[in-house]
Amino acid sequence: MDVLLSPRASAIVKREAGDFSGHPFGAMLKPAAPSMSAIVTLEGIAPALGIKPAQLARIGAAFKTLAVTAQDRIARCARYDIEPAAAPPKNGRRHILLFEKNVGFRDAPAIEAAHRAFVALADARGWDVVTTEHAGAFTPATLRGIDLVIWNNNSGDLLTLSQRAAFRAWIERGGAYVGVHSASGDPATFWPWYRDTLVGATFVGHPMNPQFQDARIVMETRDPTLSADLPREWTWQDEWYSFAASPRRTGAQVVATLDEKTYSPKGMTGESLAMGDHPIAWTRCIGRGRMFYSAIGHRPEGYADTRYRTMLGNALDWAIARNACSGAAAR
């Protein structure tokens, strides 16, 4: 997106590689958020756009001659915000922050379906929900009144440096995070702590031919809260995420795995996305805090299914319990 927002940078790309606005993938790259252009790099998408290595090298060399102007900085900063969220009421109830900001790939049907599910799950537990699309909620003052933060199918670089610091400190001091599907991160990410420590896995792709496939989910956890009322295995149709390595390697406690023998883990160009060990939902303890992440959740109808609703409800119950990580080593 920064390239598209800069007339000088865009002119270099057009001169060296032509105009790709008519390309099926190029048409998805817009200079205003939300857009796929906010979560990819030119280098990363060059093969999809037909940009050859020699052309990319010339573009890179020309970019090095460009100074970053004040206008470039202003254009980039427009994707961030400091608008505060409504303060949670002081009523003795649990308070959930449902965070739905998105500057990258915005899957509105999934976000809306997940929103309805999380609000219903919170209502059934007598919890209050504060919903926001603004990262200004991530301040020490606001987070002090929050028991659990849910990242709902977010995409893009969302928090300023001070907002990142506030969220990280809140987690490490005992906060709780639940994230679903695209909240794991993007092809191009700018916050290593979120990707490498909080989530602990790097998204690399999902099948496209076909995009949605039936596969077998196997529950691995023996935690009584996380496994409550769930079958040991079931078949599910979704857009199956693959990661660069199993989050088990970064200390995650795996909740459920995906049986790769039951679907075709091939990417857009036929590349293998097989992981071997393929966790699809996991938890970890970070300082005194807790996280739960599920890669399930692209199809909006899934959030109304009893099995996935139960999994997410269990996740909320586990994460909000401050003793969930007692005695566990911090990750």
Q: Assess whether pLDDT exceeds 90 at residue 25.
A: no
Q: How far is CA 183 from CA 83, 141, 151, 167, 293, in A?
A: 21, 24, 6, 15, 8
CATH architecture, range 95-320 = 3-Layer(aba) Sandwich (3.40)
Confidence of residue 209 (pLDDT cuts 50, 70, 90): confident
Which amino acid belongs to residue 103? V
Helix axes 42-49, 53-63, angle to 10 degrees: 150
DSSP string, 175-205: -EEEEEGGGG--SS-S-HIIIIIII---EEE
What's residue 139's pLDDT? 96
With 70 as the cut, is the pLDDT of residue 67 above it?
A: yes
Q: Using 50, 70 and 90 to split pLDDT, how confident is the model at 327? A: low
Measured distance CA(238)–CA(219) in Å, rounded: 16
Mean pLDDT within 155-182 = 97
pLDDT of residue 329: 41
Percent of the chain exceeding pLDDT 70 equals: 98
HSE value, Cβ hemisphere, 13 Å, CA-based, for 243? 26
Q: Tell me which of 105-114, 123-132, 180-189, 292-301 is least confident.
A: 180-189
Average pLDDT score, the chain: 94
Question: Is the per-residue pLDDT at 330 higher than 80?
Answer: no
Q: Where are the domains of the chain?
A: 2-77, 95-320
Tokens representing 231 are: 């079958």
**pLDDT per position as a tens digit, 239-297:** 999 999 999 999 999 999 999 999 999 998 889 999 999 999 999 999 999 999 999 99
Mean pLDDT of 165-190: 95
Average pLDDT over residues 295-316: 98
Over range 138-150, report the average pLDDT. 96
DSSP string, 91-136: SSS-EEEEE---SS---HHHHHHHHHHHHHHHHHTT-EEEEES-GG
Q: Which residue has the tokens 């002090």?
A: 144
Distance CA 214, CA 81 (A): 39
CA distances from 177 to 144, 262, 269, 290, 300 (A): 14, 30, 34, 6, 21
Averaged pLDDT, 75-79: 93
